[in-house]
Amino acid sequence: MMNKSKRPVSPISIIIYIVLLLLVAVYLTPLLWMVNVSLKTNAEVFSSPFGMPEVLQLGNYIFAWTKGYLGRAMFNSLIVCVIALIVSMFLGSMASFAIARMKWKLSGLAMTYFMIGMMVPVHCVLIPLFVRFSNLGLTNSLAGLILPYITFSLPMTIFLMVGFFKGMPREMFEAACIDGCNIYQCYFRIAIPLSKTGMSVAALMTFVGNWNELLLAMVFISDTTKKTLPVTLTYFVGPYSTNYVQMFAAVIIAIAPTILVYCMFSNQIVDGLTAGAVKG
C-alpha cells in the first residue's frame, strides 16, 4: 500500500479501498474494545465501558493464564484439534474422492448419508452419544473427545471436498490413467495436490470449528487437567456475576494460536490465488 501514490489510481479503486477500510473498522473496533476491557478492572468496565483504562491491568492476563490453566488447556486443545484435523481430512478426502470421482450407484446416497451429520444439532445427539462413550470407557479422556470431533468434522469436510473434487477437469484423471496410474495413485498424486486450496479451506473450517467447540468438551471431560480452551474460558462466567476482564484477557490469549494456524492455512489459499489467478 506504500507505493500506491507512485502510480495514478483510478477513482473506482479508491472507492473500493475506502469501503474495504471502513469494513476493517467495523471488524476491528469491537475486537479492540475487547483488548481495552481486558486491561481494566471489573468496576471500570461498568463505570466507563468505553473509556481507556486508568491503570493498565496486566495482572488480568497473569491471572487468566495461571488460574484458568490456559497453558494446559491450550496444549490439550492443540492435541485434540490437530489430531482430529489430520484424521478427518484424511478420511474425509478419501471418502469424497470415492463419492465425487468414482462411478458407483450408491454414491449419491452415500453423500446424503454423510450430510445428515451436518443437519443434526449437537445438542440432540448429546445424551445417546455420551452414554455410548461412557459405556466404552471413553469419557473423560482426550481420545474420547477426538473421536467425536473427527466424526462431526467429516460431513463438512466431505461436503466441501466433494465439491472441489467434482470441479477438477476429467482430462487430468484420464491422462493419468493412460499413463498407467491406478486409482490410489490418482488420489494421492492428482486429486490431493490439485485440491490444495480446497483442502486448506476445509482444514481451516474444521480446525476453527473444533477449536471453539464447547458443549461436547464440557460434557465429556471432567478432569481439570484434560479440559480444552473453550471450557476454561467459561470459568470466568460465575453463577451470580461474570468476571469480564479476566475472561476477555483469556479470550485474547486463546485467539493467538488460532490466528497462527489460520495464517498458515489461509496464506495457502492466497498462494494458490497468486499462482493461479488475476492480473488486473
Partner 1 sequence: MKKKLLSLLLSVGMITSLLSGCGVSTNTGSAAQTESSSTAAAETGETAETETKTETASTGKEVQITWMFWDDLEATEDLITKGYKEVIDRFNNDYAGTYHVNVITTNLEEYDTKLNALIAAKDTPDLFICNPGPNLTQYVDAGVAADLTDILTNQEKDWYNSFSGGIFERITYDGKIMAVPTNFAAACVFYNTEIFEAAGVKAPSTYEELLSACQKIKEAGYTPISCSAGTAWCLSMVAGYLCDRVGGPDNLQKIADHQMEWTDPTFIDAGNKLKELSQYFQATAAGDSNDQATAAFYNGEAAMLIQGSWVIGQVNGNNPDFEPKCGVFQFPAVTGGADPNRMIVKTDNLVMSSTTENPDAVIALMKYFTDETAQKYTAEIGGKIPVVNNVEIDYTKAPAQLSYVQDILANMTGTFGFYNESLASVEAGDVFDNAMVDIFLGNTTSDEAFQKVQSFYEKNVWK
Partner 2 sequence: MEKILKDKKAIVIFIAPAFILFTFVLFIPIIQVFYYSLCDYNALTKPEFVGLKNYINLFTDDETMRTALKNSLFFMIFSAVSQQITGLLLAVLLTNIKHGRNFFKNIYYLPCVLSSAALGLLWAFMFNPKMGINQMLAYFGIEGPMWLSSTKGFIVLPMWVIACVALWQYVGTTMMLYIAQISGISKELYEASYIDGASKAQTFRYLTLPLVKPMMTISLSLNCIGSLKFFDLVYNMTQGGPNHSTDVLATHLYMQGFQYFKYGYASSISVVLLILCLIVSFLINKFIKAETYES
| 26-63 CB burial, b ≥16 within 10 A, e <16 | eeeeeeeebebbbbbbbebbeeeeeeebeeebeebbeb
Distance CA 95, CA 151 (A): 13
Per DSSP, the three-state class of 237 is strand
- Residue type at position 156: M
What is the C-alpha separation between 129 and 144, in angstroms, rounded? 11
Structure-block grid coordinates of residue 202: 476445509
With CB cut-offs between 5 and 8 Å by kind, which of partner 2, partner 1, none does residue 238 bind?
partner 1
CA distances from 46 to 29, 49, 249 (A): 18, 5, 17
Q: Does 203 bind partner 2 (CB under 8 A)?
A: no
Distance CA 61, CA 8 (A): 47
CB of 14 to partner 1, least distance (A): 40
Contact set for partner 2, span 214-273 (CB under 8 A): 214, 229-230, 233-234, 237, 242, 244, 247-248, 251, 254-255, 258-259, 262-263, 266-267, 269-270, 272-273
Among 36, 67, 268, 272, binds partner 1 (CB under 8 A): 67
146: contact with partner 1 by CB under 8 A:
yes
**Applying CB under 8 A, which of residues 115, 168, 177, 218 lies at the interface with partner 1?**
218
CA angle, 32 as apex, 65 and 246 as ends, to 5°?
25
Please identify, using beta-carbon distances, which residue of 50 and 240 lies nearer to partner 2.
50
Partner touching 230 among partner 2, partner 1, none, CB below 5 to 8 Å by kind: partner 2
* By CB under 8 A, residue 178 contacts partner 1: no
212 counts as binding partner 1 under rule CB under 8 A: no
Residues that bind partner 1 (CB under 8 A): 42-43, 46-47, 63-64, 67-69, 72, 75-76, 79, 83, 86-87, 90, 126-127, 130-131, 134-135, 139, 141-143, 146, 182-184, 214-215, 218-219, 222, 224-226, 232, 234-244, 246
